[in-house]
Amino acid sequence: MTDLTDAVTTSPTPYRRSVLPVIVIALAAVVSAISSLNLAAPSIAIDLGADATQISWIVDAYALSFAALLLLSGAIGDRYGRRRALVAGLVVFICASISALFVNTPGQLIAVQAVLGAGAALVMPATLSTITSTFPPERRVRAVGTWAGVSGASAVLGLLAAGLLLQQWSWRSIFVFNLTMGLIALVGTVRFIPESADRDAPKLDLVGALLSVAGLAVLVYSIIEAPTQGWISAATLIGLGVGVVVLLCFLGWELRHDDPLLDPRLFRLHGFSAGSLSITAQFFGFFGFVFLMVQYLQFVLGYSALTTALAIVPLAALMMPAARVLAPAAADRMGTGTTIAAGLLLIAAGFAVLAQLDPQSSYWLVLAGLLPLGLGMGLAMTPATNAITAALPTAKQGVASAMNDLSRELGAALGIAVLGSILQSAYRSTLTLPGVPDPAAEQARSSLAVAMHMGRPIATQAQSAFTDGMSAALLWGAGLVTAAAVAAFVTLRGRHRHG
């Protein structure tokens, strides 16, 4: 990632029409990888015998590795070349996808997912920074809007692709899809993407990278394990405390370091801080929602994998046009802060509607929650991304793109961990099962997938307990997103898209 001194690129980077399609494919590959595995979670739970905590880790290992390595990966791209980072990341992504075809245990799949996330972390920072350094100003806003829309809609693309694949093949076919997307992006990168790097890029801040990775890993681990350990247990409280302390050490180190991965002083810039908070909140809600909803639709309503994916498609149908057309126009007319806040409030409203779901709900109630969620995501994404990039000069767009990506993936990792943990805690506490032997009851509480195979009475109670937990998680999510909306509005009030 670009340091805080003026960066100088190796040469002017020409605008090429072929750049955006390649960037979109690379971006879609790494974003769709997390959502597609969400859809396969029920199949993986049955095939590999994974409990609810292991399923959370299988999905979140990718997001956590992705988020934790983004700052270092951005710095690597700036120092050694963004095109080289794209190529290296795609190669890692492809190799990890091949390895996933041969795993036999939940632990092995968790490890592969972590490596897959490391490859994605090299890819994603280079996509947005390539746009901002390649496209002329008059084309840049629309290109960023396309990037923002694809970054959200690709999650639904992953769901749809996974649904189609799971109709015919096992969950391993999803990694064949990842492999194919990665290969197409790799060929396009080699052929069409121009190289750009900073001649005077500083040495990599390895201490800062280690502290950020360790802090995030301990924090997310403690959140995911909390339902099993207990939220107020010594292990959970110590883990959360250690994670926070390590992250504070990271911030202290970055403040004193001459060439930090991320200078905390940048958060004094209103656009940078509010845009980062907004993106984090959006993807906290979005990926937490996907993690919960695919299980609800399959385990509770009994949808197939493909029907589940199709059920969520209306969200993307609103998200893309809202991000590309509605959001820039709204930001020009109402201001960046108001537009972001309106989008976040729509997301919260969607969550509040979805929190009303129960085992007997119809799809119409699901759709009533999806529509404001999709519209809100599209409305908030583009102005938030532009607020981050516009807060810094052209020479520091590496910082801006890396922060945008970090906000997304950190939000995704925390959304899956926090909302999944709230769900699992409520599920375990609600599913009492009187009269059922303790070993069998504990098995049912370990996972809804296990409970669904333990006879009709237990399965029915488990479905009810699951929807209670999902409602609690969604209401917590709505509250957090609303708080972010208020913060964005207050911070950016009166500021317009180019301001």
Tokens of 331: 């930001």
Task: Return the minimum-mean-pLDDT range out of 196-205, 337-346, 414-423.
Answer: 196-205
Amino acid at 152: G
> Is the pLDDT reported for residue 100 higher than 90?
yes
Q: Alpha-carbon distance 431 to 463, whole Å?
A: 9
What SS3 class is residue 198? strand
Q: Are 313 and 470 in contact (CB under 8 A)?
A: no
Confidence of residue 199 (pLDDT cuts 50, 70, 90): low
d(CA 474, CA 495): 31
Domain ranges of the chain: 19-205+257-492
Q: Which residues contact 309 (CB under 8 A, 6 or more apart)?
A: 39, 156, 159, 160, 161, 162, 163, 164
408-449 pLDDT, tens digit each: 878 888 888 889 889 988 888 888 887 778 787 887 887 787
Helices (H), 322-455: 327-334, 336-354, 363-390, 397-430, 438-446, 448-451
For residue 47, pLDDT beyond 90:
no
What's the pTM? 0.81
Sign of CA dihedral 204, 205, 211, 216: negative
Half-sphere exposure of 401 (CA within 13 A, CB side): 31
pLDDT confidence of residue 10: 38
Place of tokens 């801080």: 273
d(CA 62, CA 409): 9
Distance separating alpha carbons of residues 499 and 271, to the nearest angstrom: 9
Range among 136-145, 151-160, 209-218, 397-406 rated most confident: 209-218
Q: Which residues contact 294 (CB under 8 A, 6 or more apart)?
A: 38, 39, 41, 42, 159, 308, 312
Confidence label for 355 from pLDDT (cuts 50, 70 and 90): very high
In angstroms, how far apart are the furthest CA atoms of the chain?
Answer: 73
DSSP labels, 48-60: HT--HHHHHHHHH
Query: What is the model's pLDDT at position 494?
Result: 52
Task: Quote the radius of gyration of the chain (alpha carbons, Å).
Answer: 22
Q: Distance between alpha carbon 413 and the CA centroid of its chain, in Å?
A: 6
- Average confidence (pLDDT) over 234-263: 88
Least confident of 181-185, 440-444, 479-483: 440-444
User: What pLDDT is recorded for position 99?
Assistant: 94
Give the lowest-confidence range in 81-90, 254-263, 362-371.
254-263
The pLDDT value recorded for residue 67 is 81
Q: What pLDDT does 159 receive?
A: 82
Tell me which of 405 and 251 has the higher pLDDT. Answer: 251
Are 379 and 145 in contact, with CB atoms under 8 Å apart?
A: no
Distance CA 276, CA 282 (A): 10
- What's residue 398's pLDDT? 64
Per-residue pLDDT tens for 52-65?
A: 788 888 888 888 88
**Number of Cβ atoms within 10 Å of the Cβ of 263:** 17
Q: Which two tokens stand for residue 308?
A: 């589940």
Share of the chain above pLDDT 90, in %: 29
- Least reliable range by pLDDT among 88-97, 106-115, 452-461, 490-499: 490-499
- Which CATH code is given to the segment(s) 19-205+257-492? 1.20.1250.20
Give how far the C-alpha of residue 107 lies from the chain's centroid of Cα atoms, to the nearest Å. Answer: 22
How many other C-beta atoms are found inside a 10 Å radius of the C-beta of residue 253?
17
Angstrom distance (rounded) from CA 343 to CA 373: 8
Model confidence at 19, in pLDDT bands (50, 70, 90)? confident
Task: Give how far Cα 198 sits from Cα of 42, 190, 264, Å.
Answer: 45, 20, 22
